[in-house]
Chains A and B, each alone.
Chain A
Amino acid sequence: MTDTVTITIDGQDFEVPKGMNLVDAAKLHGIGIPVFCYHPKLDPVGMCRMCLVELGNVAIDRTTGAPELDEQGNPVIRWFPKLQTACTQTVSQGMVLRTTSDMVVEGRENILEFLLTSHPLDCPVCDKGGECPLQNLTMAYGPGESRFIYDDKIRLAKHVPLGKLIYLDRERCIQCARCTRFCDEIVGDDVLAFHERGRRLQIVTISDPPFDTKFSGNTTDICPVGALTTTDFRFGARPWELTEVSTICPYCPVGCNLNASTRMDREFGGKAMIKRIMPRQNERVNEIWICDKGRFGHHHSRHEERLLAPLMRNKSGELVEVEWPAVYKAIAKQLKAHGDQAGFVGDSTLSNEDLWELRRLAELSGGSPRLGLWPATMSGGDVVAQVGVGSETRLQDLGPGSVILVMASDFEEEAPIWWLQVKQAADRGAKVVVANARPTKLDRYASAVIHYRYDEAVGVLNSFTAPLLSGDGQLGQGNGWGALQSDLQNAEVTHADTANLLASAENLVIFLGSEGLTLEQHAELMQAAANLLIVSGHVGRPNNGLIPVWPGANVQGAWDMGFSAEATADLLANPPALWVIGGADVAGEDIRMATALEQAEFVVVTAQFMTPTAAHADIVLPRQSFAERAGTYTNGLRRVQRFYPAQGPIGDALPDWKIFAHVSAQMGGPRPPVAAGTIFRDIAQRVERYIGMDYTRLAWFEPQFPDVGGDDLYYGGTAYSNYGGLGLQWPAEAEAEQPQFSVRPVRTAAPQTDGLTLVPVWVLFDRGHLFEKSELMHHRMPQPYAAFNPDDAARLGLTDGDRVTLAVEGHELTVTAQVGDDNPAGAVLLPRRLSGDATLSTPAACTVQKIESMQKVEG
């Protein structure tokens, strides 16, 4: 094989990939070379000198260029006179390493002796104690005694807040620069740096805001000592007391694999309690990173306001506590009475099992089931099924030759870890094209940026597709090719360079959001993306295809279980008499939903908290959070992933599936299943995409490289190895042997209105009913605002900071105006879930009124 070379480590020969550094190469074969500064996800710097090895190369005869041979005919090895850092050296054919020789052992001893000259011996109270690379490596390689004079110890500050979430202990820092390099290389936000030099070298920030990237928590994982700790876990527990439970983040479509570190806790009645959330390695999903929302957003699972018992309205209209059997009967009675007039809505935090049981209940209720999903902002589940990204796609494989188009999404706010991976793909040489109506943070890393008017989105994609169909090129198999060709014949090619870039890409991945688009417009946009991918041939193989930036963790699963955003829209257009709402705070987020619920005859809600939706309800059912039960989520790459019960139960709350199944039983359905796994077996039999999956297969795992989280924490930090399962991805239709593609012409919808359009946008740190309960994150949540373009603001007589009333569809919202050059003209950007008030989920025409002047201006 030409891609590998043979090297000798401690007398044993190994085949290793070309170009790999020595630490990784040794690690690949189970030989640990201790490191502090080196991290497999970061570029090597060779600062800590812990990885010193004896290194020899094959001597080359300069006259012939052939290896020199000794008398026995063996190659002559030329040793470096001094120890070399293994992390900065890459392998070459015939290289010889000694990792256990006396010289190496002494080298390590000396480095540790130096590192410990000023390191405090506060391991007994240090959060890292017990899972500390410095502790472990000192035990393994340390000298045991120090020759340094204690009086010369450098004393530095021990409680330095680097932001509101991360504390720095300057004495514990061993100057490995993993955190500064993480900020610089991985996140691209270099707010941490070294100050001074020598023994006084220390981590500082004077940035404003300080260290508050969306990924700050990851630095505490890769810190090889206890210098960086989170405010969430600081002094919370000792690592050896913790039991690790695999779980999945319930917030966004990335589906980050998490570990919940739990312990039986006095504060929680002796039940298992989540003490911290850590990343769990899944190289196909989140690698070893998670965002701060996932890490610190677990507090809702045991918040004091959790609903503990079922509530039902009594005769005087008050919600009072009742027993479970009574509510099951009451709901069944209502469903029997309203039968075919019931509407069902499932939240994006509901597991596949919850949704399946909700669907079964809907089917038992008679009529054709109306199954809406929430948030209902994105269409196109069928398009994803057809041209979704190929199985075994790994975003970290995208590099030179790959093109990534990110469209209609404020990517970092909507899917932070995907943003991180796309940013790194750009660093590796992939070309990133960002198309949106306004600048976003990803623009910095883009090869091309296209700013369009919101209603031009479909036209932008059409203009990429048109040139591909203009020649005499062969039309593909399937429906609609002729119609598409004649439709795009005269299409204007507005972005020729970008179109070429996309067409000539070896790999093309499209991330598609829905910013500024109504559901109908978004359906067209999804199809336009499918047309482009199909016509340019970027489907049906890994690292090619469509990835929807769904508005929640299990939106894909909801589509798979038969729920759709269109059904939600239909429920709004033709409201049912009876609503059954699973988990979602529809009324708290959307004024249209709030109105619909007000007018409904009967509303049943499963909820964790007394949300506005629950307040509208006639029956409120306490649901368990993701932390207390088992289930599966399907992420935006269609990977079905298991989560496990991590935390002890609270009150009488039950998982949604159990609640729905019990009502089903009252309606004449089968006996309620006893476990989520049984429901999944049912799903796997009846949902084609999930055929062949079961809980055992979803829990499969394999050794992943880099090998993080094993016994040797020094190597990758405290992210965890994956023992909970890597999940399974269902294949897109395009991956079939003879796929039948259907394309169709899509139209740019005419501008909706001459006036202002209210455009809902996402912010990561929002006040959604679950995340809001993480009080330590409140400082990151922006105050409610509506953003205006300066021209629009001038026309309306608004300046930054004015209070305004937005009138939309007969409702009024009061917010603070923010005026900025980046905001697109004709739009009022209103972040979802920022205030306690309901807003909108999809764009609509609005008028704006400044509050002080009381002067109404037509938008």
Chain B
Amino acid sequence: MLAEKYADRIQKIFAKYPDRRSGIMDLLYLAQEEYGWLTEQALEEVAALCDVDPTQAHSIAGFYTMYSEKPKGKYWLQVCTDLPCALRGADDFYAALCEFLGVEDGGTTEDGLFTVEQVMCLAACDKAPMLQCNFHYHENLDMEKMKAQIEQWRAEAAQPEQPEDERP
């Protein structure tokens, strides 16, 4: 349960806003961080915390593309393949990435670690190919760099869970 596990963080979130329902977006991010994606239970928990109907939480999660209501890997790799990035080879990079991980476009690896996805502009065209992993940017990529990074993530995931720190 979010309410028990993250009591302090939730307190800080609510302190930022005049009323509880305004904290809903921050809490949805928190829930997504905790559960990997927004399960119906997560939506219900967040709605209860914000004192709104679960349908309203569902609606907000559905509107914004940075929330996911579908199962996602621990590392959610969003590669920009819009035109300027494609001109710098982003689409080839994306195809190579999919092949390396052995997944289809939009798929999740069998070990549940990685989900790949093409997205629209992330406002880093000059540093393409680039991707966003759990909302952190990785820029000027090629497959060499990427393979090293993926190894690092795999190693990280094998470690026992670290204590939570603030989401930047």
Q: Render B59-99 as a binary contact track against A, CB cut-off 8 A, 1 for contact.
A: 10011000000000000000000000000000000000000
**Contact residues, B5-50 vs A (CB, 8 A):** 40, 43
User: Are the C-beta atoms of A207 and B63 separated by less than 8 Å?
Assistant: no
User: Are the C-beta atoms of B63 and A190 separated by less than 8 Å?
Assistant: no
**Which among B52, B54, B55, B59 has the highest number of chain A CB atoms within 10 Å?**
B55
User: Are the C-beta atoms of A196 and B62 separated by less than 8 Å?
Assistant: yes
Tally of chain A residues near chain B (CB < 8 A): 14
Which one of A191, A195, A206 lies within 8 Å of B63 (CB-CB)?
A195
A-B contact count (CB 8 A): 38
User: Are the C-beta atoms of A191 and B62 separated by less than 8 Å?
Assistant: no
- The residue on A at minimum CB distance from B69 is A195
Contacts A206-B40, A206-B43 given; does A195 touch B54 at CB 8 Å: no
- The residue on B at minimum CB distance from A192 is B55
B152 on the A face (CB < 8 A):
no
- The residue on B at minimum CB distance from A197 is B63
User: Are the C-beta atoms of A190 and B52 separated by less than 8 Å?
Assistant: yes
With a CB–CB cut-off of 8 A, which chain B residues contact A189? 53
A204 on the B face (CB < 8 A):
yes
Cα A195 to Cα B56 in complex, Å, equals: 9
- The residue on B at minimum CB distance from A196 is B62
User: Are the C-beta atoms of B63 and A205 separated by less than 8 Å?
Assistant: no
Tally of chain B residues near chain A (CB < 8 A): 11
Nearest CB of chain A from residue B73's CB, rounded to whole Å: 22
User: Are the C-beta atoms of A204 and B53 separated by less than 8 Å?
Assistant: no
Contacts A204-B58, A206-B43, A206-B58 given; does A194 touch B53 at CB 8 Å: no
Cα A193 to Cα B40 in complex, Å, equals: 15
User: Are the C-beta atoms of A204 and B62 separated by less than 8 Å?
Assistant: yes
With a CB–CB cut-off of 8 A, which chain A residues contact B52? 190
With a CB–CB cut-off of 8 A, which chain A residues contact B53? 189-191, 193, 207
With a CB–CB cut-off of 8 A, which chain B residues contact A193? 53, 55-56, 58-59
Cα A196 to Cα B53 in complex, Å, equals: 17
User: Are the C-beta atoms of B59 and A207 separated by less than 8 Å?
Assistant: no
- The residue on B at minimum CB distance from A189 is B53
Nearest CB of chain B from residue A132's CB, rounded to whole Å: 26
**Which among B43, B53, B63 has the highest number of chain A CB atoms within 10 Å?**
B53
User: Are the C-beta atoms of A206 and B55 separated by less than 8 Å?
Assistant: yes
**Contact residues, A180-221 vs B (CB, 8 A):** 189-197, 204-208
User: Are the C-beta atoms of B43 and A194 separated by less than 8 Å?
Assistant: no
With a CB–CB cut-off of 8 A, which chain A residues contact B56? 190, 193
User: Are the C-beta atoms of B62 and A194 separated by less than 8 Å?
Assistant: yes
Nearest CB of chain B from residue A473's CB, rounded to whole Å: 43
Cα A122 to Cα B112 in complex, Å, equals: 43
Cα A242 to Cα B154 in complex, Å, equals: 68
Nearest CB of chain B from residue A46's CB, rounded to whole Å: 18
User: Are the C-beta atoms of A204 and B55 separated by less than 8 Å?
Assistant: yes
**Which among A189, A191, A193, A195 has the highest number of chain B CB atoms within 10 Å?**
A193
User: Are the C-beta atoms of B54 and A207 separated by less than 8 Å?
Assistant: yes
Cα A189 to Cα B54 in complex, Å, equals: 11
With a CB–CB cut-off of 8 A, which chain B residues contact A192? 55
Cα A192 to Cα B63 in complex, Å, equals: 14
Q: Render A565-608 as a binary contact track against B, CB cut-off 8 A, 1 for contact.
A: 00000000000000000000000000000000000000000000
- The residue on B at minimum CB distance from A190 is B53
The 6 A-B residue pairs with the shortest CB-CB distance in the complex, in nearest-first order = A193-B59, A195-B62, A193-B55, A207-B55, A206-B58, A196-B62
17 contacts between A and B (CB under 8 A): A189-B53, A190-B52, A190-B53, A190-B56, A191-B53, A191-B55, A192-B55, A193-B56, A193-B59, A196-B62, A196-B63, A197-B62, A204-B55, A205-B55, A206-B58, A207-B53, A207-B55
